[in-house]
Structure 1
C-alpha cells in the first residue's frame, strides 16, 4: 500500500475524531440557547459535523483498503465539503462583522442597538415566530430576576459587567432617564421620547420586547458564531491538506487496480 494511502487513512481517522467536537459545538449551542430558542444557529453546525464524519469514514475505508470507487466518492464530497466550509466561514464573518456594544460613561456595562447589526441577523429576530420562542427562553431562564440579588443598589448596578442579554433585556435604555428602584424595577423616565424602547419597557415584562433586547441576543449570537468560525478556519486548512493527499491515494489505488488486472 502506498504511503499516501496510509496517510489518507490516518488523517481521515483524525478527521472523524475532529468531527465529534464540531457536532459537540452544535449540541452546545442547542443546550446553551435551547433548541426552540435559536434553532437556526445550531442545526447548520450539527449537520456539518455529521457530514464531515460520514465523508471521513469513506476516506478512511477507501484509503486503508485501496477501494478506488470509494475514494472517488470521498474526494468528490470532500471537495464539496471544502467549498461548503469556506462559504459558511465567510458567511459567518460577513453577517457577524457589523455590531458592537456602545460604552456608557461611568457604567460597567455596554448597550446594544439593533440597527448596528447585519440585516440578515436582524431579520432572524424580527421574525415574530422566532422572537416569541427566544423571548420565552429569556424569561424562563430568570436571567433578569437574579440581578436583584447580585446588584441591590444603584451604584452596584452601574458598575455591573452585564452580559449583552442582561443589558438589552433586563433594563431600559439609559437615554430614557428611568430612575433605579432595583435591578428590575425602574420608574419615572425623564426623556421618554429619547428611544422607541422607552415606551416598550414595563416593570412586569421588563424590556423583553425591546429592540435593545433583540440586539443583546444578536451580540450573544455574534460571539458564539465567531468562535465557530475560528474553528472552521483551522478545519478548512486541515481539509485542504487531507484532500491533496487523498488525490495521491486515489491515483495509487487506480494504479494498483490497473496492475492487478494486467497480471
Structure 2
C-alpha cells in the first residue's frame, strides 16, 4: 500500500507541474510579443524557470509514486539547494533594498530621487548596464503622457503625481531652477554644479535619460519590485520546506520498503 507521504508528495508535485505550464507559456508569449529590449530580456529566464519547475516536479512524481529511490534522493538534493539559494536571495534582496527613497518636496505632487541614496551594489549594476537600460527606457515611452500635455499650466504640473521614472527621467531636477515652458520643455536660467542640470535636453528623445535622477528613479522601481518578490519568496520558501519535509518522509518510506523487499523477496 502506498503510504500517505508518497501520495501527498506526488499530489504536491502534480500541482507544481501544472503551475509550470502557464509559466512556460507566459515566457513563450513574452518572446513573441516583445517589441523592445526592455520586454525581450524577461522571456528566457521565465521559460528557464518554467522548465526547471517542470523537470523537478516530474522527478518528484516518479520518485515518490514509482518508488525510484535514487531519483527521489536527487529530487531532495535539488530541493535542498533551492531552499538555501532562495533563502540567501531573500535576505540579500532585503539588504540591498533597505536604503533609498524619494524625497518629498513642499508644494509638489511628485518626489525627487537621488542616486546616492540607494544601495552601492544596485548603483554599480545600473551604471554598468546604463547604455542598454537608457535605450530601453526611451523605447518604452515613459514620458509620452508628459509630452502629450504640453499645454499644462505650471501650478497644475506641480500637483501631478509622477511615477519615480517620470520624475527622474522626464523633467529636470527642481534644484536646477529652470524656467517652466511645458512638462518636457524647460529654459535654463542659471548654471549649476549638479551634472543632471547640464544633462537635461528638451529633445524628446533625450530629456533626462542620461541623468543620475533617472537612474535613481529606476532604482526606486527596482527596490519596490524586489521587496514584493522577497515577500513572495518567503511564502514560496515555506511551501518548499513543507514539500521537502514530505519528500524526506517519502524517501524514508522508499528505503524501508526496498529493505523489506530485499529481506523477504
Q: CA deviation at 1:45?
A: 6.4
Contact 1:99 1:117 in 2 (8 A): yes
Q: CA deviation at 1:22?
A: 6.5
Map Cα deviations across residues 158-193 of structure 1 (whole Å, 9 max, x no partner). Answer: 111111111000000001111110011001334x32
Find the residue that maps to 2:186 and give its secondary structure: strand
Find the residue that maps to 1:186 and give its secondary structure: strand
1:75 match:
76
TM-score (norm 1): 0.88
Structure 1 residues 119 and 47: alpha-carbon distance in aligned structure 2, compared to 1, 3 A threshold: farther
2:174 match:
174
Matches within 5 A, 1:1-263: 1-19=2-20, 36-37=37-38, 47-127=48-128, 130-150=129-149, 152-190=152-190, 192-193=191-192, 195-204=194-203, 205-262=206-263, 263=265
Structure 1 residues 188 and 138: alpha-carbon distance in aligned structure 2, compared to 1, 3 A threshold: same
TM-score (norm 2): 0.87
The aligned length equals 260
Structure 1 residues 124 and 42: alpha-carbon distance in aligned structure 2, compared to 1, 3 A threshold: farther
Structure 1 residues 27 and 240: alpha-carbon distance in aligned structure 2, compared to 1, 3 A threshold: farther
Q: CA RMSD in A?
A: 2.8
Q: CA deviation at 1:156?
A: 2.0
Q: CA deviation at 1:38?
A: 8.8
Q: CA deviation at 1:53?
A: 3.2
Contact 2:36 2:136 in 1 (8 A): no
| Cα distance in 2, alignment partners of residues 33 and 92 from structure 1 | 27
